[in-house]
Amino acid sequence: MRASLLSIFFIWAPAFAQTPCEGTPAYSPCEIVFELSTADLAAHPNPYSAVELKAEFRSPRFRTYLMPAYWDGGRKLIVRFTPTEAGQWIYKTTSNLAGFEGKEGSFNATPSDSPGYVRVANVHHWATENKQPHLWMGYIDDRFAFDSGQEFEQKLNEAAQNKFNHFRGSILGNAGDSGKVYLAPDKPNPSYFDELDRRVTAIHKRGITTDLILASDPNYIAGLFPDWQSRERFIRYVVARYAPLNVTWHGLEEFEDYGNGRELLKELGLDLKKLDPYDHPRSSCAKMTSAPLLADGWMNFIVEASMDDSVGSVEHQFYQVPFVGITDAGHLWNSTMDGQYPEFRGDNAVRAKYWFDFMADTRHWELEPYFDVDGTRAVALEEIEYVNYIEHPGPPIEVSVEKHGYDVYWFNPATGGFLEQKKYKGEHFTGEAPDKDRPWVLLIAREGRKESMLKSYKFESRVVPVQEIETAPQKLPFAIVEPPGDTLQAGKPVQFSVKVTRSTRATRFMTYLWTGEVAADGRGFRVIGTGAPGTFTIPPSIAQNFPAVLSIHLSVLNANGKAYSADRVYQLNK
């Protein structure tokens, strides 16, 4: 990264009289450059692994940020830092090189209108550090570091023009890219990372957050960095280069089919949590869902890659963190009804823009899945607004609402057009889509009330409801019928089924999510099926040692959104 950064370069002077970050606006990165002497370089021929250099920065409000330096080729080490508020900052270095140890300095940061970094907020939602809601919409270009310059610019322009505010890509790519990113063990390619810097900075300057995947899979990253020390050096290196920018961490592209996947991601995730002073959001991508990793204590949001709504809608009721759903234009609104923020490739990006414009005019940071409906799926802030998605219009839909007067609109997600309807007053809305040839979104909202709330309410105007899971066997309205017996074989298809034992309005529609786990081997659970009945196959990668004790867990939502769970235990043979 060179002139593209809002930074000032400075070759270290013994007197420490200069202030290289003076005048840096808040949330803009600046850089302090250190140059190794000939003697230091001779004593430490690979500065990446041998030189330790950190700078601790203290804010005007006495918050501290410990930033590691990164090797940028030759004799050069750089401390990149972003002040998070205006005012005087002071800093001090520590190093295993005497010439860099104990140096002190200060600079003044200036105010800026940047909203700051993205943060988890309001249980399932997002905000920026200026306490404003953040409507996450992500553009996926996992090969962004390896695209040609023209391809990258074209995709970034498309993302910006269609209001995407996240841009996802991989740092290390896949195993075939290893020679491009690292020249030898413990020796990153400075030219590659300088170009990656330019691209992440270009995204940052557009006001877009970069969602950084570390690498494709556990085997690749373990092969490139074969021990925990080399993996920690890598995490320190990418934190030093990219944590000062507007980023989130997305772990690996997938982990489920790898025996060491969960263990490796826990190690990498805890390193990120320890070393990133800005505490950017952390999760991992997955073939299905990253929820199995949540209990390991390093993640603070879940990435859903399944477009099976049984997975997304059920997990949303069971976990008190935000969800990012990997989706496409056709599944975008269903993902929203699952309670997810979307991230997808640029197919039909204009539909994403229509979605963003619509959702930006709601209190999206308080909308939660809503179940008191018939013929539609919905998210709502009760008493204020109800957003309904009718994928396959048919008979009239019904929506129970609090008794008030409401504005009513039909929205065409394919064109971005609205059809305003007659105002409604009551508590049981019934209506039909304008036509049955396409999906529709129905908005029932107290627009005047929403406008007044924006003037007088803080970010959270209500307590987000947290689901209480019913596990008592005598209170479950269903029973697991299959698989029968007490033994299953990994890799072999097996029938599963459920019998509803209590027929009510709430149990006429049930959503089922089946997961399996061999707890003793610590690889985490796997989603193995949805619905009832059906067929699932237990993946052999779920266990390390056979025979194993397999717990099958069934999570269920009824038509009213009530959550239940039940378990069965089997012996798993290979």
Residue 348: what pLDDT?
80
Nearest to 339 by CA among 358, 360, 320: 320
Residue 2: what pLDDT?
37
Question: pLDDT digit string (tens) for 344-353?
Answer: 987 788 899 9
Whether pLDDT at 561 is above 60: yes
- Return the residue matching tokens 């009718």: 390
Nearest to 408 by CA among 395, 421, 426: 421
Residue 463: what pLDDT?
63
Question: pLDDT digit string (tens) for 408-447?
Answer: 999 999 999 999 999 999 999 999 999 999 999 999 999 7
Give the model's confidence band at 551: pLDDT under 50 very low, under 70 low, under 90 confident, else very high.
very high
Contact predicate 300/283, CB 8 Å: yes
The model's pTM: 0.94
Give the model's confidence band at 449: pLDDT under 50 very low, under 70 low, under 90 confident, else very high.
confident
Residue 15: what pLDDT?
35
Whether pLDDT at 7 is above 90: no
Whether pLDDT at 491 is above 90: yes
Give the model's confidence band at 448: pLDDT under 50 very low, under 70 low, under 90 confident, else very high.
confident
Whether pLDDT at 461 is above 60: no
Whether pLDDT at 396 is above 90: yes
Average pLDDT score over residue span 214-243: 98
Question: pLDDT digit string (tens) for 112-168?
Answer: 999 999 999 999 999 999 989 999 999 999 999 999 999 999 999 999 999 999 999
Domains and CATH numbers, the chain: 30-109 (2.60.40.10), 118-360 (3.20.20.80), 370-456 (2.60.40), 473-573 (2.60.40.730)
Average pLDDT score over residue span 245-267: 97
Residue 80: what pLDDT?
97
Provide the mean pLDDT of the chain.
93
HSE of 260 in the Cβ direction (CA atoms, 13 Å)?
A: 12
Whether pLDDT at 17 is above 50: no
Q: Nearest 5 degrees, angle CA 66-CA 72-CA 76?
A: 85
Whether pLDDT at 243 is above 70: yes
